[in-house]
Amino acid sequence: MKLRKSKPYQGLAIGSLAFLILTSCQAGQNDRVRKRTHERKHEQKQVVESVTVEPTNQAVQDVIAPSDYVKRLGKGLDVDWAKTPKGMQTYSLKMVQDFKQAGLQHVRIRVTQDVSEDLLDTIEKQIDDCLKVGLIPVVAYQADAFKNKPNSDELKKAANWWGQVAVRLKDKSPLLSFDLIIEVTDALNKDQAALNQYFEEATVQIRKTNPQRIVFVSPRVRSDPENLREIRLPSQHQGQIMAEWHFYAAGPSKKNSQKLWTSGTNQEKQIIRNKIQAAIDWQKKTGVPTWVGAWMAGNYNDGNDYTVSEQVAFANFVACELDQAGVPFAVNSDTKFYDAAKQRWLGEMQPVLQAFLKPNCTK
């Protein structure tokens, strides 16, 4: 049987068909490869996006809103740990532990000195100790030179003090806050414009390194809550702002009608209620929470003529009123309740301490 020879064009057609089939297969394979490559890139992009978003979320979590902070502050003490040479010398971690164990929730660390490496080391250690045991630290600056001479030079120095402190403490927990001035007194009492400008410039310095740190402003005339309305909030507060005010910082008086307390008459109680109400009214108007940075149960520095039982009665009433108003507070001061040299609580003052820590508000 003879075999028929293929015509040339028939072999060419068959070869072309095979080439087309092979090319088509390769193209399909290439499409699948490109698709898988695209999917991998898309998955990688999602992973990268999830990684880049995570630190942002963490940063947001590290911000404590004033509305939350005011609840955490609770009850505390003003302390001399960084205010006086004796306070610095007798300071120890045991004190911080004892304060926390007693039920205190924060301390107001008052500072008077100019910035130095030694001072920054001292403050930082105390802050770290507080955070270690769960005690909230509030750093408060005396700013004496500015209070005595509220001119532009002293204002700048005081604001720069905060700038330097803020740089050192920029990485600390958001539980740390800055109280811009311990108490408005002396010549500054009569210069609200200078006080407002100080708040503005100090906050600008702080915000350079601590964009979300809570700062406290304070009213003039010994931080009287009735003068809160005169404060101009700093432009860079970022919503992270509260106000500190106080009353009876040097204790009540049996003679001074403005802070009278004898037996706790209705008139004497109303003086206290009026001060608290002034702060509450300002809070409602501005949305800015407040904190009482200092009050005393006795006139320890001016006669000291209140018995322990009288101090207990006063402390119990003030603590109850502030608790009911939802205003946290710090009592003035640690030296009245704790013997730093002996590292122990003063036994005779325990009733007063317990009166403001655990007041009986059913009386």
First to last CA, the chain: 128
CA dist 255 and 200 (Å) reads: 38
Instruction: List the structure tokens of 84.
Output: 């006086």
User: The domain 68-357 is classified under which CATH number: 3.30.465.10, 3.40.50.2000, 3.20.20.80, 3.40.30.10?
Assistant: 3.20.20.80
Query: In 230-244, which positions are buried (b, 16+ CB within 10 angstroms) versus exposed (e)?
Result: ebeebebbeebbbbb
Name the nearest CA neighbour of 129 among 87, 100, 103, 167. 100
User: Tokens 């164990």 — which residue?
Assistant: 101
Domain boundaries, the chain: 68-357
Scan for tokens 């700062």, then name that residue.
215
Please report, in tens digits, the pLDDT of each residue of the chain (363 residues total): 333 444 333 433 334 434 333 344 444 444 443 444 444 334 333 322 222 222 323 333 489 999 999 999 999 999 999 999 999 999 999 999 999 999 999 999 999 999 999 999 999 999 999 999 999 999 999 999 999 999 999 999 999 999 999 999 999 999 999 999 999 999 999 999 999 999 999 999 999 999 999 999 999 999 999 999 999 999 999 999 999 999 999 999 999 999 999 999 999 999 999 999 999 999 999 999 999 999 999 999 999 999 999 999 999 999 999 999 999 999 999 999 999 999 999 999 999 999 999 999 986
